[in-house]
Structure 1
């Protein structure tokens, strides 16, 4: 029988060797961040014997596990060492494979188009890590480098952007049959390119435990078995209830390429307006939509901004004892959890989306900090899934800005 200590033992696998026995641990992930991170630390009395830990070097591939559960696959990014007269402290910090998408630029626009590259998604050093349990679509990549993409699907372009860094793209969402033209801007990182591609889709882009890039929707990971209940499993909680980023009116403006039948104001004055009836006083936010727009897109973007900013008001963080639910499964991001907290005002068994979480080990024991938000804050909206036809756009674009006032 596996003991509680064994199933929560944090280990690092580097070059086939296992490192464990850490005195403090922080492992963080979130649906709003494209790469998860970890920091582990061990302290020994001076002069001590930390030789095996000091062999770890920045840049090495690493797999982080809690018990037998893989929680991060990536690289060691730094190995700080410090000491004083009494002790030596060794820390190992690292991030998911997707860190290269955050830090690095796409080579597509910088490499000659005649040059070929190999699809590294099946030949990287972690090929045996992912047990293949995911029933999601793995997006294939192109075989030749291109400066830009013409009439290509969004997920295909993202897969091409990630391929040079050995990142596989897992698509858990129906992006639809949307084809687009895209060119990488000089100097922009890969994640900035991806953000430009998906800014109109209101999708969640994050990573998984195996270092893959995941395109998904809120709550796709399912429901939690346990609830967060004040007076039962919650040790502490906090919420800001900040209204500084909430507005009464959201106006998104944009434009799209005209044609013989679609020109002038109809092409250059796309606009979408969303009203938040819960805001008492007049507060206007105008957002400029980039790239090719439409009335449907601007309306969807306005609706999303209203929903997301309103949801942020109800964001809260609860700290509980332990890292696992009663079923022994780890708490995970992008799952729906019931929240019962009379002190913070969540008293109706409200279902919340786990936005961020952090596994923590300290002298106080193992705790898990869970940040939640209403799932409707990430709702894509029907107008985004089913863009209006050109005829409908013309009819809508003739409307006035009366709703703004």
Structure 2
């Protein structure tokens, strides 16, 4: 199947690219692209007038995947041909590089969307909610020299939510999705190649989370000094890790943290990469943060998995999609507690 990539810059539509890479990931705040064309002289010079910093929109088969800016233009030539490579990313990429420069640096009794919207406003980025964001923060302050993404990540960690780009120039607050793509990944049908990684380096048989409670006249010193929570993974040989909690808690809160560590570390220990023969399945582009059914008799799996990342490419092998798949619980997040006074300083 052939696909069409269009880059719109200054109301001009550029297409017929010979090499294409477009990447989207649940862990990256901005989608990225790189497009290349090689032509005989002097055709490229006259046909492509794209400058670094130009606003752009990237469409694949008519669907907008990136809304942002060109951040790099590379040109090369010899006596026979001239090539140009144009790279860029979503508007949200500025949040990764830049510091906040708005008027407010401290917020009181504001919710997550309100604070993140203030951080994004100088960069012309809207914030869209797809999940519950919980209660207001009593206090939040941006640290000196902190990049926007660092402030946003601190806020998101305390509400157990993810931040992603929607490709439309917006920042989306969401969770690990249960939405499903209709096309399965089937070895022997739409899979060209695959790699699998299974690591036990970061998983243990026993997770012990320890912390410090606040003592009072009704709490014995011993129980106040070291509350803890324990979770076990019986499938692993004897391997113990002790995690010192960052905040004050109880046996119950630390047990919840230990259980979360065991589940999520196990989920993230295995990664699957499948290279497919098309950018689409059933007329729908593959998309990150979606559930897909996988049938792989070689690895002996037939179950649902979460698409953590998508790489679309056009090269000498033709049109390909590389899916990075993980267990559906790999991006389940546990909200971090705030300080006793409700601040995130």
**TM-score with structure 1 length normalisation?**
0.76
Q: Is the 8 A contact 2:273 2:322 kept in 1?
A: yes
* SS at structure 2 position matched to 1:244: coil
Point out the structure with the larger helix share. 1
* Correspondence 1:74-153 to 2 at 5 A: 74-108=68-102, 145-153=103-111
* Counterpart-to-counterpart distance in 1, 2:156 and 2:273: 28
Q: Which runs of 5+ in 2 are unaligned?
A: 341-345
Match in the other structure for 1:181: 139
Partner of 1:161: 119
- Which residue, out of 41, 45, 57, partners 1:51? 45
* Contact in 1 for aligned 2:8/2:14 (Cα 8 Å): yes
Partner residue in 1 for 2:343: none
Matched residues, number: 337
1:160-192 CA-partner distances (Å, limit 9, x unpaired): 211121111111111222434211111111111
Which one of the candidate residues 318, 321, 330 is aligned to 1:377?
A: 330
Distance across 1 between alignment mates of 2:216 and 2:113: 27
Please say if 1:364 is aligned against 2:314.
no
Distance 2:136 2:8 in 1: 41
Cα separation, partners in 2 of 1:80 and 1:102, compared to 1, 3 Å: same
Structure 1 residues 285 and 37, CA, compared in 2 at 3 Å: closer, same or farther? farther
Task: State the alpha-carbon separation in 2 of the partners of residues 152 and 266 from structure 1.
Answer: 35
Q: Which residue is equivalent to 2:295?
A: 340
Q: Does 1:350 align with 2:307?
A: no
| Residue matched to 1:313 | 269
Aligned CA distance change for structure 1 residues 86 and 274 (closer, same or farther; 3 Å): farther
Change (3 A) 1:84 1:101: same
Whole-Å separation in 1 of the counterparts to 2:213 and 2:121: 30
CA RMSD of aligned residues (A): 2.8
Shift of 1:35: 0.7
Structure 1: how far apart are the matches of 2:189 and 2:183? 11
- Change over 3 Å in CA distance of 1:364–1:160 after alignment to 2: same
Alignment CA distance shift 1:273-1:190 (3 Å) = farther
Instruction: State the 1:297 CA deviation.
Output: 5.6
Greater length-normalized contact order (CA 8 Å, ≥ 6 residues apart): 2
Unaligned segments of structure 1, at least 5 residues:
109-144, 391-405
SS of match in other structure, 2:197:
coil
Cα pair 1:304 1:377 within 8 Å, conserved = no
Give the match's secondary structure for 1:75: strand
Q: Structure 1 CA distance, aligned partners of 2:317 and 2:186? A: 21
Match status 1:64 vs 2:58: yes
Of Structure 1 and Structure 2, the greater strand share is in 2
The alpha-carbon deviation at position 215 of structure 1 amounts to 1.2
Decide whether aligned partners of structure 1 residues 218 and 63 sit closer, same or farther in structure 2, where only a CA change above 3 A counts.
same
Q: Which residue of structure 2 aligns with residue 323 of structure 1?
A: 279
- Matched position secondary structure for 1:334: coil
Q: Check the 8 A contact 1:247/1:285 in 2, yes or no.
A: no
Change (3 A) 1:59 1:235: same
Shift of 1:201: 3.4
Aligned pair in 2 of structure 1 residues 91, 280: CA closer, same or farther (>3 Å)? same
